[in-house]
Amino acid sequence: MKKRRAQKRNQQKPYATVSSRSFKTTPWSVFKEDRFVLPSGKMGSYYYHHSEGGVFIVPVLQGGNVLLLRQYRYLLGRESIEFPGGGVGRGEIPRVAAVRELKEETGFSARVTKKIGGFCPYNGVTNEWTSVFLASGLSRGAHSREEAEQDIRTIECSPGKVDRLIASGKIFDGQSIVAWEFAKKYMKNRKSVE
């Protein structure tokens, strides 16, 4: 009985949305304000980044190594090592976005793209849900990076090196770290990657 009450409590929405407005829209983001009523009857506002979703891709090469990107991140003022990833377009399916982002950022196409997990990267600031994919059967082609992505370089790492780069803080991008955690169990069983 206690378990049922706890489940029911977890399913209830404590906030009743009264209104929602967009106050800033960019090609990549919508910033919104929702007005809501708490169970107490008190009004409040919530400001957040609205997203159609995100994708991160762990590209696995034939020998078992993975591809990462090295790129400059403006907000941090430094270079970052991370897996390919990006936003899901309006009406776009996450798998299609993953294939597009992999090609755009690395130039590689994948014969197999397998969804291996998902997470919310920052649930107090965004409603984004990020889907994680493992890509294999890779073939090289030309990338189609955006102007601000021209400095991206692809690097190849063994799974052990990825672990060491994370442990040393050289890979500090949270979404890449989560994507790698999902991917590691598949990397142990190479058959599930192919």
pLDDT per residue as tens digits for the range 139-192:
987 776 666 666 889 999 999 999 999 999 999 999 999 999 999 988 877 554
CATH 3.90.79.10 boundaries in the chain:
54-189
Give the model's pLDDT for residue 39: 87
Dihedral in degrees, nearest 10, Cα atoms 83, 88, 95, 135: -10
Which CATH code is given to the segment(s) 54-189?
3.90.79.10
* Residue ranges of the chain whose pLDDT lies below 70: 1-12, 144-150, 190-194
> Smallest Cα–Cα separation from 60: which of 138, 130, 176, 131?
138
Give the model's pLDDT for residue 149: 63
The residue with tokens 């965004």 is 126
Q: How far apart are CA 162 and CA 170, in angstroms?
A: 9
The verdict on pTM exceeding 0.75 is: yes
Specify the 3-state DSSP secondary structure of 109: strand
